[in-house]
């Protein structure tokens, strides 16, 4: 089944910053393990304090990220969220809701762990993004 993934799908995933450094073989594994989901505007995907551990990659549309009711960021196509809960198994640190109709790729914790074990570059990319978000969050609290 994974071998039958069209090359345009592989190219699409290589264009997503999280996956641009991984092999085609790993992208095939990600596509096979992930679920693509359409989400209606306004739906909450992740709730602050929740214990789910899915990782989301935005394929189309935008989400609004809030923390304690405060707007933190808007994320669009190619962005991902959920890496913090995946990496540390703690409760969700923010609420993420669909700002527009969305299409997201959802990777469960077991599938994501398999992919990260195979491609450590992915873990490094998640950590870099997480560090940038923590720093931006710290700066926004200083004002």
Nearest-angstrom CA–CA distance, 12 and 84: 24
Average model confidence (pLDDT) across the chain:
85
Q: How many independent structural domains does the chain possess? A: 1
Q: Is the pLDDT of residue 139 over 60?
A: yes
> What's the predicted TM-score (pTM) here?
0.79
Nearest-angstrom CA–CA distance, 102 and 99: 8
Give the residue numbers spanning the domain of 22.
2-142
Q: Looking at residue 24, which CATH number applies to its domain?
A: 2.60.120.10
Q: What is the pLDDT of residues 92-130, one digit of tens each?
A: 989 999 999 999 989 888 888 888 888 888 888 888 887
**Nearest Cα residue to 93 out of 137, 142, 132, 59:** 137
Distance linking the first and last C-alpha atoms of the chain: 52
The CA-based angle 34-39-41, given to 5 degrees, is: 150
């Amino acid at each position: 089944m994974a071998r039958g993934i069209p090359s345009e799908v592989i190219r699409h995933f290589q264009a997503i910053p999280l996956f641009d450094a991984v092999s085609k073989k790993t992208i095939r594994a990600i596509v096979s393990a992930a679920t693509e989901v359409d989400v209606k505007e306004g739906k909450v995907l992740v709730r602050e304090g929740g214990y789910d551990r899915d990782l989301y990659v935005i394929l189309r549309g935008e989400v609004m990220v809030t923390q304690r009711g405060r707007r933190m960021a808007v994320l669009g196509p190619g962005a991902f969220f959920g890496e913090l809960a995946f990496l540390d198994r703690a409760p969700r640190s923010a609420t993420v809701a669909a700002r527009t109709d969305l299409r997201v790729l959802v990777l469960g914790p077991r599938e994501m762990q398999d992919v990260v074990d195979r491609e450590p570059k992915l873990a490094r990319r998640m950590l870099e993004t997480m560090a940038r978000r923590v720093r931006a969050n710290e700066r926004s609290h200083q004002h």
